[in-house]
Chains A and B, each alone.
Chain A
Amino acid sequence: MYRYRMRSLGLELLMIAVALVVAFPLYILVNISVRKPGDLSSPAAPTTSPTLRNFADAWQQAGLAGAIANSVIVTVVSVAIVVLVSSMAAYRLARVGTRWSQAVFLLVMLGLLLPFQLALIPLYHTMRDLGLLGSLWSLVLFYSGLQIPFTTFLYAGFIRALPREYEEAALIDGAAPMALFVRVVLPLLRPITGTAVILNAIFVWNDFLTPLLYLSGSDQQTIPVAIFSFVGQYTSNWSMVFAGLIIGVLPILTVYFLMQRRIIKGFAGGLKG
């Protein structure tokens, strides 16, 4: 018994040490962001007279308010679309077992293997021809299509394990297919919808390459692009840059720490093969 506790304590201390190493860069991030310009002490040394000035400066210079609003719009709208259309498609694909249905399912799953870099450039020209370049709608359209294979995969697995009794009972009651889906099936899918929303939202929120291309040359930006152009302009003022980085990452970290249990479960559960 004693030996076991000593070993637990050893492991505990070791794991805390590892966590401190992992957290070290985050400490540097905060430490530098509260430094006065011209403070040349070592980056690891705790800042002696911290200031919040850099955050006000970064907020003004980087135009992050607009970028945060854009990121919220793009994330909410594309995740809503992808969750609705994928759950409908998965419902049909999981409930109808014909050869055609299986072929369509495989065609959709093929999308899991295609890196989006291949579609990105031809689609860039289609978007240009449609006059969507530089508009948030190009991103909404892109993510709504891109995330369908993964989201359909999540839903199909979940629906296959779902008993049909409720749907059958509601059918006898004479519900139309769409009403049946919205009122009976969707509520039953709530656990996997949570997972799908979390995984898609984090991907869309953090994506950098797509808005870098599709929004370039416009005054619309999402957070990763706004940070990219902001840092490019002010590389010499690291204190302000770091304040900007913190503002940029704060929304997603806040959501994470508020919902950490749900989010970690989503990442782990949604991907169990």
Chain B
Amino acid sequence: MATNLINSVTTVAGPAARTQRAPARPTVPWWFLMPALLLYGFVVIVPSVQGAAFAFTDWDGLSVVKHFVGLANFREIFADPAGRGAAVNTLVIAVAITFIQNGIGLLLALGVNARIKSRNVLRVLLFAPAVMTPVVTAYLWKFMYAPDGAINGFFEALGLASWHQNYLGDQSLVIWSVVGVVVWQFAGYSMVIFLAGLQSIPSEVLEQAHVDGAGAFARFWFIVRPALAPAITVNLMLSIIGGLKIFDQVWVMTGGGPGHASETLSTLIYKNAFQFNEFAYSIALALVLTVAVAILSAGQYRLLRRQEG
């Protein structure tokens, strides 16, 4: 129907109309913005501003009375081993995910971009975990990680019983187990974005470089890497922001434990707001998270834009 309309319109308007219509630009009315701005204001801007303000009060979530307490909530976060631990864990998890997921994603993209017969099937399969509900994959891995679970069983079958680990019960191992699940699920996501970057490189350019005697590494560094710069920016931004916000996998597999060994800012926000009724403290944690996201993504963005040139 729409194409009919366009066709009839172009024939009617024709070349004669074209020559005289120079200033006739379609004006998009201002109210086109209103539904989006109202929704966005109500759901994001107003509560975020409220949140930023509540973080400096002693609000308990129930009473109407709030007192300004300055930086007390923030002092408490960094004095409390759980709060400090959550901040450190969140940062470690986000940085680890960013490096490992994108490293593996890049290798997978190079692999499925090569001329192998199974590449289309492999792409579909390797990306599949990325669409699955994180709650589901987290339960699956909780079972696999159990002391008598599939991973230890697998090592046992290989005669490597000494490799047995308590993946989710060991305080020094647990956040790496969480990182492992996220990397397993989202490496295919990074792969797909890198692949889009790789496919923008004309194969003649690579072949010519090969003919001219450029080795595999030189071709990667001087041709592939610059072409991948936008994909690298997008991938790193996505994984650092996603990593900082991590909640589902931790909440399902460990609840932040053992002790506070896998506590993240998001799990602590949830606990303080909805289990301990420490609303102001919880919002202060959310503000710490916001600042971390802003600093890390802005810093990374500047750094990467310079690379893109």
Contacts and interface: CB of A to CB of B under 8 A. Distances in A.
Interface of A: 8, 11-12, 14-16, 18-19, 22-26, 28-29, 32, 42-44, 81, 84-86, 88-89, 91-93, 95-96, 104, 107-108, 111, 113-126, 141-142, 144-146, 148-149, 152, 164, 166-173, 177, 180-181, 183-184, 186-187, 202, 205-206, 208-209, 212-213, 216, 223-224, 227-228, 231, 238, 241-242, 245, 248-249, 252-253, 256-257, 260, 263-264, 267-269, 271-273
Given A19-B126, A187-B2, A206 B134 contact: yes
Nearest to B130: A267
B43 A119 contact: yes
A268 B192 contact: yes
Which residue of A14, A32, A89, A216 has the most chain B CB atoms within 10 A of its CB atom? A89
A44 B141 CA distance: 13
A11 B118 CA distance: 10
B159 interface: no
Contacts of A113: 290, 293-294, 297-298
A122 B28 contact: no
A267 B43 contact: no
Nearest to A224: B135
B36 interface: yes
Given A8-B115, A113-B293, A148-B39, A208 B150 contact: no
B303 interface: no
Interface residues of B, number: 112
A236 to B, nearest CB: 12
10 closest Cβ contacts across the A-B interface? Answer: A145-B43, A89-B36, A119-B47, A268-B196, A122-B50, A187-B2, A122-B47, A123-B47, A43-B150, A85-B35
B26 A171 contact: yes
A170 B3 CA distance: 11
A265 B178 CA distance: 28
Contacts of A269: 196
Contacts of A172: 9, 13, 17, 21, 24
A149 B134 contact: no
Contacts of A14: 111
A95 B54 CA distance: 38
Contacts of B265: 117
B118 A16 contact: yes
B43 A123 contact: yes
A113 to B, nearest CB: 6
B245 A115 contact: yes
B124 A257 contact: yes
B28 A95 contact: yes
B123 A44 contact: no
A260 B124 contact: yes
A263 B245 CA distance: 24
B166 interface: no
B269 interface: yes
A23 B125 contact: yes
Given A117-B289, A144-B43, A209 B195 contact: no
